[in-house]
Amino acid sequence: MEKKDLTRLDEWTWELPQSGGMRVPGRIYADDQLIEQVLQDQSLTQVANVAHLPGILCCSLAMPDIHFGYGFPIGGVAAFAVEEGVVSPGGVGYDINCGCRLLATDLKVDEVRSELKRLVDQLFRDVPSGVGASGAIAKLSRKELEQLLEEGAAWAVKRGYGSAEDLERTEDHGALPGADPAAVSDRAYARGLDQVGTLGSGNHFLELQVVDRVFDAEAAKAFGLWEGQLALMVHCGSRGLGYQICDDYLVVMAEAARKYRIELPDRQLVCAPVSSPEGQAYLAAMACAANYAWANRQMIMHLVEQALLRALRISPQTLGLRLVYDVAHNIAKLETHEVEGRPVAACVHRKGATRAFGPGRQEVPAEYREIGQPVLIPGDMGTASFVCRGTEEAMRRTFGSTCHGAGRVLSRSQALKRARGRSIDRELAAAGILVRSQGPKTLGEEMPEAYKDVERVVSVMHGAGISPKVARLRPLGVVKG
């Protein structure tokens, strides 16, 4: 696809006109530089392919961090009418409810600057990370895991790992409704029994950060953020259990697509009607994986607090660790949105995209409702992360959605080739960022050059009025798998 195939709507928005079997146009958020990067892979072809699916509403959306993915592009958003639309595992991805959790403290970075190495080392020891890492709690029984899959983050809170306030500050209170453990395979259960409270590998991280700039003082105050504050961000998902659920249901959906005679421009877009038995089974299993991810991040928050207290030798009251918000980045959700002036029940797929609900929505915690939902957008391990907020504009234009991060420009193999002969951890240390990792391979795959400029990505959505910037968080120390 070429630039001439696109129509520019305004400074931040491009349209891929409806053609062939597309039921709706594509809409892409990008500036001049980012659109050139988007055109380097086949992600816009995937935007067009998604627009072919039955029941799609309004347009096939692409955020500025878009890049090529499985079926749907990563950084893609698509909403389907519940009555005649479909649900597709490719629109959620393998890492179901990969997401972010932002933790704030009462500490000034200047108070602990001399202890940063100790803090990063303690976090690396106490929070299991890496491929196949086992949890810091005992291996669960089948019955315990079934309870976790239904209850989500509340499962951890009931066992003393957090508070009711944490649930209030978690998207969907940390549990999607409709989760059915019976919809999950034995193989997925086996993979999930001992991974609760683990970070995983790849682009997942645990990061010590400083709030180094506030853009919106009113919103920052509402979120409890201030310049010079020590904060932490957790980025991880549903681990092997979520991966297996996606793998299992791709097989189910391939049969369903044939059964319901759904014409697909790409076989990776296998899907089923939302209301069909196959669609309902996938949503029930996906909810289980989403709930697993929320329980996982809740457990990691507890491990983080214990590690900080151990390293700094201070009281919980002095530390003042609290959850700002927790958001999902890979999920399909049943929501009501206004389309052409009427409310429509929709299945909204966000794959590498963040919910960004505006002020007044009941889904936003009461303490943030006047401001809008906190939106967490992580950078890569060498660049800043951002806190933004949802808006009415997002509700009108993107089904309450925005970008989720920087977005890759290099594949993992390309990044490893470029990292050959270099010491990425030393390069980051020279920039003032301490890194701990299970091995050099992950650091090579996830080096800053492998990603787009997150400040530019966030600025596009800020300029478009979708998710205005609230604060910037600069990395001080990073734990990787």
**pLDDT over 70 at 135, yes or no:** no
**pLDDT over 80 at 11, yes or no:** yes
Q: Contact, 393 vs 13, CB < 8 A?
A: no
- Beta bridge partners, 100, equal 235, 327
Backbone phi, psi, residue 436, to 5° = -125, 130
Q: What is the mean pLDDT of residues 164-171?
A: 98
What is the pTM for the complete model shown?
Answer: 0.96
The string of DSSP letters for 119-170 reads HHHHHHHHS--STTPPPSSPPPPHHHHHHHHHHTHHHHHHTTSS-HHHHHTB
Q: What is the mean pLDDT of residues 61-76?
A: 97
How many beta carbons lie within 10 A of that of residue 45, not counting itself? 16
Alpha-carbon distance of 373 to 114, in angstroms, equals: 34
Can you say whether the dihedral through the CA atoms of 42, 44, 48, 51 is positive or negative? positive
Q: What whole-number percentage of the chain has pLDDT above 70?
A: 99
Residues 6 or more apart whose CB falls under 8 angstroms from that of 261 comprise: none
pLDDT score of 304: 97
Q: What is the mean pLDDT of residues 24-53?
A: 97
Across 185-189, 327-331, 354-358, 379-383, least confident range: 379-383
Give the end-to-end CA distance of the chain in Å, rounded to a whole number.
Answer: 36
* Alpha helices, DSSP H, located in 224-276: 239-259
Alpha-carbon distance of 462 to 229, in angstroms, equals: 23
pLDDT score of 220: 98
Alpha-carbon distance of 257 to 245, in angstroms, equals: 18
Q: Contact, 38 vs 30, CB < 8 A?
A: yes
**pLDDT over 90 at 328, yes or no:** yes
Q: What is the mean pLDDT of residues 164-178?
A: 98
Q: Which amino acid is at 353?
A: A
Q: What whole-number percentage of the chain has pLDDT above 90?
A: 89
User: Pick from 346, 375, 376, 344: which is nearest to 359 by CA?
Assistant: 375
The first and second tokens of residue 332, run together, are 């399909």
Question: Which is more confidently placed, 131 or 472?
Answer: 472
Alpha-carbon distance of 151 to 158, in angstroms, equals: 10
**Whether residue 404 lies in the annotated active site:** yes
**pLDDT over 90 at 44, yes or no:** yes
**pLDDT over 70 at 64, yes or no:** yes
pLDDT band at residue 315 using 50, 70 and 90 as cut-offs: very high
User: Pick from 35, 19, 52, 15: which is nearest to 6 by CA?
Assistant: 15
Residues 6 or more apart whose CB falls under 8 angstroms from that of 398 comprise: 61, 77, 356, 466
pLDDT tens digits for 222-268? 999 999 999 999 999 999 999 999 999 999 999 999 999 999 999 99
Cβ-based burial of 268 (10 A; exposed 0-12, middle 13-18, buried ≥19): middle
- The strand ranges marked E within 194-311 are 205-214, 229-236, 272-273
Question: Which is more confidently placed, 240 or 134?
Answer: 240
Q: Contact, 129 vs 198, CB < 8 A?
A: yes
Q: What is the mean pLDDT of residues 105-134?
A: 91
Q: What is the mean pLDDT of residues 99-120?
A: 97
Q: Which of 52, 235, 404, 462 is catalytic?
A: 404
Give the CATH H-level superfamily of domain 3-480.
tRNA-splicing ligase RtcB (3.90.1860.10)
pLDDT score of 353: 98
Question: Which is more confidently placed, 89 or 427?
Answer: 89
Average pLDDT, the chain: 95
**pLDDT over 90 at 177, yes or no:** yes
